[in-house]
Chains A and B, each alone.
Chain A
């Protein structure tokens, strides 16, 4: 591998993680998942330059990387805003009013003029159906979000802007 290459866009720490993951599985392809997580954790999102570098420095096929990135909604392929709201839009949350709550969030963002700070997207199940509807704001998990309480939950973030 090309770990001695000083011009790498990956930090030394990231390079260590990538190289470790690459030896962990039977095929290199299997390592794409943890590697992309590591890149996203450090850089916020997975950019084209990262995919280029993975192909060039570690011979990971760019098609396979892209397949993984587009398959999983948890990977960000565009620059995240300060607060990324990921709202579960799967069946249980929808039964408990997820769509209404999402509409309310959109309305609030619009009203408060914080478009540039807040992003909202629907994501698959967050694994807390018993506490539906559920959402993530960056890495904080929030349960039982409804039309009524969503404003209060979000004010915690909007007050820090």
Chain B
């Protein structure tokens, strides 16, 4: 066992392994020490000089991020001397900052703004003009760079070096003329660019996707799990509740993802917005689409199943629903009704074992392992991961219940697959997205809830559960998740 160090921060005792810095200990204890350049997922730079703390018995203030805790050390983070130091450090950071908060996307979640309210509140003493630098540069990926707003904390440079290993950013020139940038004429090319927007403590990096769409204080964030691949990154999902519009996804510190997430995962809010959602139950008669209510819809489905008998029913299941939904779905169809034909519905072009070395996996379904576990539990279907769409189509059951993949972006063949299914005898499409409406003649369509609107869990690549604990109210009134839809359907039997 490694040596432990006992010391105190603001009177609270703490034991940490030897080598832990004061900042790391404070972060774990949730004691806030103002900082810009330190980030729990990156190396220590010690350049912002903002995390100054008092060490009892030492004459000068020291930076917490690069100060290793030692036995008996007593740290004070809240003395008048420390506060005064923070105030001065902040004033220096703001010397050349343009203060264009009214048009800056970072406003509302900006380190400079927040710390000004906490430790600043001074009258600026600067009389000299500010240094002007290049603005609104497209540096590749999802990024727009404003070098004037930059406080040169170097988090982005370290991220490029340590996380993506692409080293596409550097600090050029020096002193108050120093600017962050890519090599002249080159752009950042990896798939993790939006992380730079998150870790930038000011508004130097902003996201092309989110820019100027919404002020952050109108948005409500809720904890969720990214459904974009089998890694299952912990995320915060941001939506404006009044309009039910989703705007962005940010990573939340979690076991599966550390502090980051990929740019592909960032887009996983788009299919949730109302324009691309399946809103009504409907059936098609003589090529005409007829909207019906849920009762009528489930009643018709129940009679159809009773008419043909469970032996002529098959289930075509994609791996993008929660464990709880699979449990309820299979419990009813397999457990109660005795349906035997169960097929996996997967993207035919997927490269299951691909991995980009950071987070993104080739398995672009959120819950492959959850589905496999449920199939095993009920002893149905193929016990190996694999697309059985063609088998399902050729076996031509009289009734097919299809759990349509939730996210079209992760399922390139969705349209052509749906086309094939529509031509079959009778398929009931249970779907989150409205892709099916692009094809005429779907016999039976049931709208279900998206991942942001339901409780439940996904089982990720490592077999770990990711919990959807705090759902938003659904943007579409009166729809249910697969589990409650199944329960409602069972009332007709």
Contacts and interface: CB of A to CB of B under 8 A. Distances in A.
Interface string A84-122: 000000000000000000000000000000000000000
Interface stretch (A10-18, A65-73, A132-140, A144-152): A65-73
A71 B183 contact: no
A63 interface: yes
Contacts, number: 23
B171 interface: yes
B178 to A, nearest CB: 8
A66 B167 CA distance: 12
Nearest to B179: A70
A142 B125 CA distance: 39
Interface string B39-77: 000000000000000000000000000000000000000
A67 B167 contact: no
B169 interface: yes
A63 B173 CA distance: 12
Contacts of A71: 172-174
A64 B167 CA distance: 9
A66 B174 contact: no
Interface string A34-71: 00000000000000000000000000011110110011
Give the interface residue-count category, chain B.
Answer: 10 to 19
Nearest to A63: B170
> From DSSP, what is the main secondary structure of chain A's interface residues?
helix
Interface in B153-197: 167-174, 182-184
Contacts of B167: 61, 63-64
A63 B172 CA distance: 9
B47 to A, nearest CB: 14
B170 A66 contact: yes
B232 to A, nearest CB: 33
Nearest to B182: A63
Residue among A63, A66, A70 with most chain B CB within 10 A: A63
Given A61-B167, A63-B168, A70 B183 contact: no
A53 B168 CA distance: 18
Nearest to B172: A70
B188 to A, nearest CB: 11
Contacts of A63: 167-170, 182-183
A77 to B, nearest CB: 11
B165 to A, nearest CB: 11
Nearest to B185: A48
A18 B172 CA distance: 23
A43 B185 CA distance: 24
Contacts of B168: 63
A121 to B, nearest CB: 14
Contacts of B173: 70-71
A62 B172 CA distance: 12
A61 B160 CA distance: 13
Contacts of A70: 172-174
Contacts of A67: 170-172
A64 B173 CA distance: 12
Interface in B428-459: none
Interface string B364-404: 00000000000000000000000000000000000000000
Nearest to B184: A66
A38 B362 CA distance: 48
A66 B168 CA distance: 12
Contacts of A61: 167
Contact of A64 (B170, B182, B184): B170
A62 B186 CA distance: 11
Contacts of A62: 183
Interface centre among B168, B170, B171, B174 (most CB of A within 10 A): B170
Contacts of B169: 63
A67 B172 CA distance: 5
Contacts of B170: 63-64, 66-67
B168 to A, nearest CB: 7
A70 B184 CA distance: 12
Interface string B308-333: 00000000000000000000000000
23 contacts: A61-B167, A62-B183, A63-B167, A63-B168, A63-B169, A63-B170, A63-B182, A63-B183, A64-B167, A64-B170, A66-B170, A66-B172, A66-B183, A66-B184, A67-B170, A67-B171, A67-B172, A70-B172, A70-B173, A70-B174, A71-B172, A71-B173, A71-B174
Given A63-B183, A67-B170, 4 more contacts: A62-B183, A63-B169, A64-B170, A67-B172
A-B pairs with the 5 shortest C-beta distances?
A63-B170, A70-B172, A67-B170, A70-B173, A71-B174
